[in-house]
Amino acid sequence: MTDSAVDHVTCCRCRSGGLVTAGVRRLQVSDFAAFDNQYDGLACYETEQSRFDGLRLHDNLAAGISLDLSFDNNYITNAVLNGNDLGIFMRHSRHNAFKGVTISKCHRHGVFMAQATSRTSKGWRLFPGTECIGNVFENLMVTDCGGKAFQVNDASCISNAISGARFLRNPMGGLSQPTTNPVSIRELAGP
């Protein structure tokens, strides 16, 4: 699907996610609300060059926003994520911009960033090509989440940046990342 729009929509109590995209290019989503869904408020797979603005995603059983399987070159702006299990879950996501995102009261982490894994006969291993690379978070606020404000799980997730963020009252801390993978941080405030 290419060059489509979703405007002024509310999705609630769905058996899956509120809005799920797959194989989409240049989608415009604005003024979208999703709550009390069985999984995510917004889930995007194989989604490119799309814009999401004015999101209100709360009280979903999984993530407010779930991004995976080639979520690349997209913009998410002016989003409020409240009371979800995770605020943002992301794997296999490259060169995306998040601006003006507020995450609060999630049961676990505010943002969870990782590389996909697969099970082998010798145990779990990282799946090549599924890293989170080159994502930018500007004016991100994460408060009162049950886990960490921002968890970078794997050192292979590189060249990500956080600017103008505030991480407050998250009992497990603010930014957590592998020591070999420093996220570029500017103007980070809070404990």
Reported as a single tens digit per residue, the pLDDT across 152-186 is 999 999 999 999 999 999 999 999 998 886 788 77
- First and final C-alpha spacing in the chain: 43
How would you class 175 by CB atoms within 10 Å of its CB: exposed for 0-12, middle for 13-18, buried for 19 or more?
buried
Reported as a single tens digit per residue, the pLDDT across 46-85 is 999 999 999 999 999 999 999 999 999 999 999 999 999 9
Q: Domain segments of the chain: what residues? A: 2-114+131-175
Task: Assess whether pLDDT exceeds 60 at residue 189.
Answer: no
> Which pLDDT belongs to residue 190?
52
The CATH number of domain 2-114+131-175 is 3.30.565.10: no
Task: Assess whether pLDDT exceeds 60 at residue 139.
Answer: yes
How many CB atoms within 10 Å of residue 106? Answer: 29
Reported as a single tens digit per residue, the pLDDT across 35-55 is 999 999 999 999 999 999 999
What one-letter code names the amino acid at 19?
A: L
DSSP string, 88-151: EEEESEES-EEEEEEEES-SS-SEEEE--EEEETTEEEE-TT---BS-EEES-EEES-SS-SEE
